[in-house]
């Protein structure tokens, strides 16, 4: 069986969902947990209509039910895990009745989902941004990991946990060390031995302290501790949760360099813009997908104008800064990755990646076939390596709740034919595309006296935008939905809250409180914006 | 709660004959699999190994000793001691008739290999007379099952009808449709499960149709283009390719095909970019690719235009 938790894979990961559909036709039970009855939920065996941001209440109540019904995998817990007693004790208050109150999901449905999961031969939990775009994102993920440890649904073929990545190289970015606390191959920067290895290989001493997450960088800029910024392939002005604040922070820098394939809203603020080749079709290299498969990207086109290959530009930059790396090919860079993280990538030569449709890490040597699933060691008798820890996590509501002043909860997500801030997907004409709308339950539309298509003002404590109402019976009452796709027309990220998870730096795009007002007189500027909106 | 799945036994080997030569193939494989493994040429139209065989085109038929009728090699499993003939007089005659009937009623000008097969089997579709005049738009869409007009003896009947261009991404030229069902299968339970198209009508009036023949934008279509990917005749075509062919600038000899990875999500679909004059004209995915099995979504198949919009935005000075 398969949990799709906070994931509308039918629209956001359509080809992954083809594999899910094969499973459904073969009898796989799918449970969808989502505040909206999405096209994904419509394919599910059971749909759990969760109130936004109450995932931990649901996961913990399922766990309590699994334990109470004696469905926990006790031999697995005893052999492979740690911290079970503290975890079990922490579940005390998560009764089915409590969970029903908090999540809005019928207690019987929660019980049924818990039993389906625990009794399944093989079960997976896949999640997407519905789990991670919250101020307690890491806790949300830990609550799902707890369920897998409780039932032993991890480390075996057909079982496990999988975050469905939103871009072709989200996984690869972390794998390659483009995160502030790890070198390539998840090697800890604070490990003195690791630091020494990299210092020796690169001939430069390495600080064994963690760098800053993007959120921390923005704070450091605000406090005047960081005065210049090099932004590569990111459009924070339109992708961060609070647009006003982001613009203000970036404008206060002494020096901003943007290296991008587009003249983005962020690039417009830059002192220097370096035009880039499009990584996936104008240069060579690798990306890593959601199944840890390292895949080759290849140059199919010459980049336009002065746009140049990323590696060449970075080598030039290094030369200007006094270090000559020579002319590096993508394969040479990759071979250094293999040399510096041999346990994960050692066996993945370009020749093998070519012949074997990519390889899944770890793949330590040339004779290794790659690894289909992780954590098999948890099934070794006796256990090898450290036990997998349970984590005590508590239910916490999103920072903003609907109240008398802001009576609706706004949540955000993607549509099938569109993508993030629209800079890429806006480039083709899609018969499916319609401009931004405020999706609401028909009862709410009626109660407020709105009509379908009527423009309304949507305001949060941070800003306000105008968008037409769209009646949508898949919505819950009290919840409204918008996308990030049309930021040039409707700046939804002026509404969203810039609360972030202190553990991961992810922003709470999935919940903020808004109020809705009919437009008496439409300001001319906004009318123009509507008239020129994409796609219609 | 947790059971260990019994390991699957490796398939047994079946020994049989193709054209008098003893061959071996794993149990469960088809005659077509065995023919291809032994370098025997067998033409196919409706077959694709990512889809369930529907046995409708009949061009892959072979003769099996002791069988009353010719059998479709794409779905008939090999059996021990079977004697298969792939090029007997009966097989050749059947393929000739099948190809002639198809060629006389359908425009096969963009179907790969058909010209070679027609020559090899001595097809002459002209002997059925000149093609009937083009049916007005909508005539075939609304043909009723069981209702037939008497055929006009001066002409050969065709499935020709005006090309359907009702959206910015696909063109449907049903004059080229051989009713192989591949598009219906790709849109249905084999992959996409959108069920936007099906087979409507019966007999010669049968055609691929949306519900009540509505235009694609009013149908359940989500523009994944997986129907285009499996269409063997060019009846379904992406708009850029259609336009380039129409203005005579489509030139496969000047095109390169480069495999890369789609940028739009973390699934990691292989995109084959078909590039002519430094311009992407088409994106496909290889059928043998474990992630996609040849399928893409609307973003992968059509969403690459932004890369070249940067070119058009370039100052020309």
- The radius of gyration of chain B's CA atoms, rounded to the nearest angstrom, is 22
Contacts for B89-97: CB closer than 8 Å, 24+ residues apart: B90/B63, B91/B61, B91/B62, B91/B63, B92/B121, B94/B58, B94/B61, B94/B70, B95/B43, B95/B59, B95/B61, B95/B121, B96/B121, B96/B122, B96/B123
- Annotate B198-227 with DSSP letters as a single string: EEESSGGG-EEEEGGG--GGGSS-----HH
CB contact under 8 Å between A296 and B266, yes or no, is no
pLDDT confidence of A492, banded at 50, 70, 90?
Answer: confident
Q: Where are the beta strands (DSSP E) in B100-190?
A: 170-172
Asked if B52 reaches chain A (Cβ–Cβ under 8 Å), the answer is no
H or E stretch including A281? helix A279-282
Q: In the numeric block, which tokens belong to residue A328?
A: 């590096």
Best of A15, A155, A307, A485 to mutate (most B CBs within 10 Å, chain B): A15
Poorest-pLDDT segment among A7-16, A449-458, A503-512, B202-211 = A503-512
Cβ neighbors of A121 (< 8 A, separation 6 or more) are A158, B1, B2, B3
Summary mean pLDDT of chain B: 92
Contacts of B298 (CB under 8 A, 6+ apart): A416, A417, A430, A432, B169, B222, B223, B224, B225
Return the bridge partners of A162, or none. Answer: A126
- Beta pairing, strands A30-34 & A46-49: parallel
Same domain, A444 and A472: yes
Q: How many domains does chain A have?
A: 4
Q: How many CA atoms lie within 13 A of A311 on its CB side?
A: 16
Looking at the fold, whether A197 and A327 belong to one and the same domain comes out as: yes
B119 alpha-carbon distance from chain centroid: 21
CB contact under 8 A, A419 and B299: yes
Q: Does A194 touch chain B (CB under 8 A)?
A: no
Residue A534 has pLDDT above 50, yes or no: no
What is the average pLDDT across A243-265? Answer: 93
Same domain, A342 and A194: yes
B164 in contact with A, Cβ within 8 Å: no
> Does A138 have pLDDT greater than 60?
yes
Comparison of pLDDT for A57 and A484, the residue scoring more: A57
B291 touches chain A (CB under 8 A): yes
- Half-sphere exposure (CA, 13 Å, Cβ side) for A364? 1
For A164, the closest of B217, B223, B266 (CB atoms) is B266
**A128-155: average pLDDT:** 96
Choose from B168, B219, B265 for mutation: most chain A CBs within 10 A: B265
Chain A contact for B165 (CB, 8 A cutoff): no
**Is the pLDDT confidence value at A170 over 80?**
yes
Q: Are residues A30 and A130 in the same domain?
A: yes
* CATH for A457: 2.40.40.20
Domain span at A26: 2-164
Burial class of B101 by CB neighbour count within 10 A (0 to 12, 13 to 18, 19+):
middle
Mutate to test the interface with A, among B271, B287, B288, B307 (most CBs of A within 10 A): B307
Does B217 reach chain A within 8 Å, measured CB to CB? Answer: yes
> What is the arithmetic mean of pLDDT over A494-514?
85
**Beta-carbon separation of A291 and B268 below 8 A:** yes
Closest CA–CA distance from residue A406 to any residue of chain B (Å):
34
Are residues A15 and A125 located together in one domain of the fold? yes
Say if residue A509 is exposed, middle or buried (CB neighbours under 10 Å; 0-12, 13-18, 19+): buried
A183 forms beta bridges with A187
A470: left (phi over 0), alpha (psi -120 to 50) or beta: beta
Q: Which residue of B193, B217, B256, B267 to mutate against A (max A Cβ within 10 Å)?
A: B267
Residue with the larger pLDDT of the pair A286 and A208: A286
Task: Tell me whether residue A93 is in a domain.
Answer: yes
Tokens of A292: 């840890």
pLDDT confidence of residue A449: 95
Is residue A375 one of the residues assigned to a domain? no
Q: What is the CATH number of the domain that holds A92?
A: 3.40.228.10
pTM: 0.92
CA distance A317 to chain B (A): 24
Residue B146: what pLDDT?
A: 73
Q: Give strand pairing partners of A513.
A: A409
Residues A82 and A65 occupy one common structural domain:
yes
Contact with chain B for residue A305, Cβ under 8 A: yes
Buried b / exposed e along B268-289 (16+ C-beta atoms within 10 A): bbbbbbbbbeeebbbbbbbeeb
State the nearest Cα–Cα gap between A136 and chain B, in angstroms. 23
CA distance B281 to B96: 35
Give the closest-approach CA distance of A303 to chain B in angstroms: 8
| Model confidence band, residue A189 (pLDDT cutoffs 50, 70, 90) | very high
Q: Does residue A445 sit within a domain? A: yes
Residue A132 to residues A8, A41, A201, Cα–Cα distance (Å):
13, 19, 36
Residues A150-174: what's their mean pLDDT? 94
Instruction: Note the pLDDT of residue A407.
Output: 97
Co-location of A344 and A205 in the same domain: yes
In angstroms, what separates the C-alpha of B259 from chain A's closest C-alpha? 6
The DSSP output letter for B192 is T
Please name the member of A119, A156, A300 whose beta carbon is closest to the beta carbon of B258.
A300
Mean of pLDDT values over B112-119: 96
Contacts of A295 in chain B (CB under 8 A): 261, 268, 270
Residue A450 lies in a domain: yes
| A162 interfaces chain B, CB cutoff of 8 Å | no
CB count within 10 Å of CB A464 equals 14
Same domain, A204 and A140: no
Tell me, what's the ipTM?
Answer: 0.92
Q: Quote the pLDDT of residue A428.
A: 87
Closest CA to A110 of A54, A153, A154: A54
Q: Is residue A330 part of a domain?
A: yes
What is the model's pLDDT at position A58?
98
Check: CB of residue A121 under 8 Å from CB of residue A138: no
Span B141-152, average pLDDT: 79
What is the spatial distance between Cα A232 and Cα A201, in angstroms, rounded to a whole number? 25
**Quick check: B261 and A296 in contact, CB under 8 A?**
yes
User: Which structure tokens are listed for A457?
Assistant: 């003002």
Residues of A in contact with B292 (CB under 8 A): 15
The CATH number of the domain holding residue A175 is 3.40.50.740
CA angle A494, A497, A503 (to 5 degrees): 135
Domain ranges for chain B: 11-131, 159-312
The pLDDT of A461-487, averaged and rounded, is 93
Give how far the C-alpha of residue B185 lies from the chain's centroid of Cα atoms, to the nearest Å: 10
Contact A289 B262 (CB under 8 A): no
- Asked if B275 reaches chain A (Cβ–Cβ under 8 Å), the answer is yes
Phi and psi, residue A456, nearest 5°: -130, 155
Closest C-alpha among A172, A12, A19 to residue B264: A12
Q: Are residues A283 and A178 in the same domain?
A: yes
Residue B6 confidence (pLDDT): 57
List all residues of chain A from 327 to 346 with a beta carbon under 8 Å from chain B.
Answer: none
Q: Is residue B62 within 8 Å of residue B84, measured between CB atoms?
A: yes
| B42 touching A (Cβ < 8 Å) | no
Residue A160 contacts residue A153 (beta carbons within 8 Å): yes
Each residue's pLDDT tens digit, B28-74: 999 999 999 999 999 999 999 999 989 999 999 999 999 999 999 99
| A362: preceding bond cis by omega (within 30 degrees) | yes
- pLDDT band of residue A525 (cuts 50, 70, 90) is low
Mutation test of the interface with chain B: which of A7, A26, A129, A281, choosing the one with the most B Cβ atoms within 10 A?
A: A281
Res B316 pLDDT > 50: no
Within 63-92 of A, beta carbons closer than 8 Å to B belong to: 71, 73
Residue A500 lies in a domain: yes
- What's the confidence (pLDDT) of residue B151? 78
In contact, B311 and A307? CB cutoff 8 Å: no
CATH 2.170.120.12 for domain B11-131: no
Residues 173-202 of chain B whose Cβ lies under 8 A from any Cβ of chain A: 189, 191-193
Q: Is residue B189 pLDDT above 80, yes or no?
A: yes
Option in B268, B280, B308 nearest A289 (CB)? B268
Kindly state the average pLDDT of the residues A139-144: 97
- % chain A with pLDDT above 90: 82
Chain B residues close to A119, C-beta within 8 Å? 1
What Å distances lie between residue A472 and A330, A483, A522, A535, B269, CA to CA? Answer: 48, 14, 24, 20, 31
Q: In the predicted model, what is the mean pLDDT of chain A?
A: 93
Close Cβ partners of A15 (under 8 Å, ≥ 6 residues apart): B267, B269, B291, B292, B295, B296, B297, B300
Confirm whether A395 is domain-assigned.
no
**Sorting pLDDT into bands at 50, 70 and 90, what band is A504?**
confident
Q: Band the pLDDT of A526: cuts 50, 70, 90.
A: low
Residues in B touching A73 (Cβ below 8 Å) = 1-2
CB contact under 8 A, B269 and A15: yes
Domains B11-131 and B159-312 share a fold: no
Domain shared by A25 and A41, yes or no: yes
Task: Say which range, A136-140, A175-179, A304-308, A519-523, has the weakest mean pLDDT.
Answer: A519-523
Contact call for B299 and A425, based on CB within 8 A: yes
Chain B contact for A30, CB < 8 A? no
Residue B3: predicted pLDDT:
52
Q: Is residue A524 part of a domain?
A: yes
Same domain, A412 and A525: yes
Instruction: Give the pLDDT confidence of A382-405 residue by residue, as tens digits.
Output: 888 999 999 999 999 999 999 999
| DSSP characters over A14-73 | HHHHHHHHHHHHTT--EEEEESS--HHHHHSSEEEEPPTT-HHHHHHHHHHHHHHTT-S-
**Candidates A120, A158, A431, partner chain B, best to mutate (most B CBs within 10 A):** A431
Q: Do A165 and B266 touch (CB under 8 A)?
A: yes
> Does residue A138 share a domain with residue A154?
yes
CATH assignment of B159-312, given 3.20.20.70, 3.40.50.1220, 3.30.70.20, 2.40.128.110? 3.30.70.20
Share of chain B above pLDDT 90, in %: 84
Q: Taking residues A149-170, what's their average pLDDT?
A: 94
What is the DSSP code (8-state) at residue B141?
G
**Least confidently predicted of A270-284, B53-67, B303-317:** B303-317
- Residue A412: how many other CB atoms lie within 10 Å: 21
Whether residue A523 is predicted with pLDDT greater than 70 in this model: the reply is: no
- What confidence tens digit (pLDDT) does each residue in A73-95 have? 999 999 999 999 999 999 999 99
In angstroms, the separation between the Cα of residue B292 and the nearest Cα of chain A is: 6
- Among the partner-chain residues A295, A304, A419, the one whose CB lies closest to the CB of B314 is A304
- Number of Cβ pairs < 8 A linking chain A and chain B: 172
DSSP character at residue A271 = S
The reply to whether A362 touches chain B by the CB within 8 Å rule is no
pLDDT at A54: 97
């Amino acid at each position: 069986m398969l949990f799709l938790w906070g994931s509308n894979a039918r629209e956001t990961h359509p080809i992954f969902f083809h594999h899910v559909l094969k499973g459904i036709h073969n009898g796989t039970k799918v449970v969808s947990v989502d505040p909206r009855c999405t096209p994904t939920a419509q394919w599910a065996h059971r749909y759990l209509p969760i109130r936004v941001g109450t995932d931990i209440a649901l996961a913990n109540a399922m766990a309590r039910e699994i334990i109470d019904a004696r469905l926990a995998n006790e031999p697995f817990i005893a052999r492979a895990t740690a911290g079970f007693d503290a975890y079990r004790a922490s579940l005390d208050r998560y009764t089915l009745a409590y969970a029903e109150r908090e999540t809005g999901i019928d207690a019987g449905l929660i019980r049924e989902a818990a039993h389906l999961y625990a009794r399944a031969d093989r079960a997976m939990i896949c999640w997407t941004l519905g789990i991670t775009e919250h101020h307690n994102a890491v806790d949300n993920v830990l609550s799902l990991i707890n369920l897998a440890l409780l039932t032993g649904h991890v480390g075996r073929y057909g079982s496990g946990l999988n975050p469905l990545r939103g871009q072709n190289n989200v996984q690869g970015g972390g794998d390659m060390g483009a995160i502030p606390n790890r070198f390539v191959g998840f090697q800890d920067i604070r490990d003195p031995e690791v630091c020494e290895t990299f210092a020796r290989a690169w001939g430069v001493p390495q600080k064994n302290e963690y760098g800053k997450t993007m959120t921390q960088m923005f704070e450091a800029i605000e406090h005047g501790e960081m005065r210049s910024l090099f932004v590569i392939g990111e459009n924070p002005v339109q992708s961060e949760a609070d647009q006003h604040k982001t613009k203000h922070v970036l404008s206060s820098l002494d020096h901003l360099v943007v290296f991008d394939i587009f003249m983005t809203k962020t690039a417009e603020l830059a002192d220097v813009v370096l035009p880039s080749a499009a990584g996936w079709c104008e240069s060579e290299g690798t990306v890593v997908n959601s199944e840890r498969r390292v895949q080759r990207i290849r140059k199919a086109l010459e980049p336009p104008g002065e746009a140049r290959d990323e590696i060449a530009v970075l080598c030039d930059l290094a030369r200007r800064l006094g270090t000559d790396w020579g002319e590096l090919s993508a394969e040479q860079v990759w071979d250094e990755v293999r040399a510096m993280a041999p346990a994960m990538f050692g066996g993945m030569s370009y020749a093998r990646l070519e012949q074997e449709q990519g390889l899944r890490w770890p793949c330590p040597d040339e004779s290794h076939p790659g690894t289909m699933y992780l954590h098999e060691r948890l099934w070794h008798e006796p256990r090898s390596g450290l036990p997998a820890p349970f984590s005590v996590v508590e239910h916490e509501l999103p920072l903003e709740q609907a109240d008398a002043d802001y009576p609706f909860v706004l949540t955000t997500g993607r549509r099938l034919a569109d993508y993030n801030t629209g800079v890429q997907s806006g480039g083709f004409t899609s018969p499916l595309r319609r401009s931004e709308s405020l999706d609401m339950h028909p009862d709410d539309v009626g109660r407020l006296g709105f009509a379908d298509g009527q423009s309304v003002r949507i305001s949060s404590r941070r800003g306000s935008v105008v968008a037409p109402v769209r009646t949508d019976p898949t919505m819950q009452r009290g919840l409204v939905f918008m996308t990030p796709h049309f930021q040039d027309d409707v700046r939804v990220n002026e509404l969203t809250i810039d609360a972030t998870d202190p553990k991961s730096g992810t922003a709470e795009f999935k919940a903020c409180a808004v109020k809705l007002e009919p437009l008496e007189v439409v300001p001319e500027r906004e009318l123009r914006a509507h008239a020129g909106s994409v796609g219609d | 709660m947790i059971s260990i799945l019994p390991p699957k036994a490796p398939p047994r080997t079946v020994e049989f004959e193709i054209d008098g030569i003893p061959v071996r193939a794993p149990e469960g494989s088809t005659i077509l699999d065995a023919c291809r493994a032994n370098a025997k040429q067998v033409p196919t139209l409706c077959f694709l190994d990512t889809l369930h065989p529907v046995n409708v085109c009949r061009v892959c038929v072979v003769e099996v000793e002791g069988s009353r009728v010719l059998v479709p090699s794409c779905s008939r499993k090999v059996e021990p001691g079977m004697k298969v003939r792939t090029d007997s007089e009966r097989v050749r005659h059947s393929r000739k008739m099948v190809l002639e009937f198809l060629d006389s009623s359908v425009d096969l000008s963009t179907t790969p290999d058909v010209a070679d097969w027609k020559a090899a089997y001595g097809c002459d579709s002209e002997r059925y007379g000149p093609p009937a005049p083009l049916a007005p738009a909508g005539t075939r869409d609304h043909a009723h099952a069981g209702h037939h007009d008497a055929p006009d003896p001066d002409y050969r009947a065709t499935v020709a009808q005006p090309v359907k261009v009702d959206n910015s991404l696909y063109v449907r030229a049903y004059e080229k449709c051989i009713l192989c069902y591949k598009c219906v299968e790709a849109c249905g339970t084999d992959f996409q499960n959108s069920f936007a198209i099906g087979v409507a009508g019966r007999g010669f009036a049968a055609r691929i149709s949306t519900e009540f023949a509505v235009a694609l934008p009013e149908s359940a279509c989500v523009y994944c283009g997986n129907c285009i990917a499996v269409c063997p005749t060019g009846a379904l075509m992406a708009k850029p390719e259609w336009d380039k062919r129409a203005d005579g600038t489509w030139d496969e000899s000047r095109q390169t095909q480069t495999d890369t990875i789609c940028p739009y999500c973390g699934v990691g679909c292989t995109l084959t970019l078909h590039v002519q004059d430094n311009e992407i004209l088409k994106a496909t995915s290889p059928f043998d690719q474990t992630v996609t099995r040849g399928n893409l979504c609307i973003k992968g198949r059509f969403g690459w235009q932004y890369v070249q919009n940067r070119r058009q935005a370039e100052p020309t000075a």
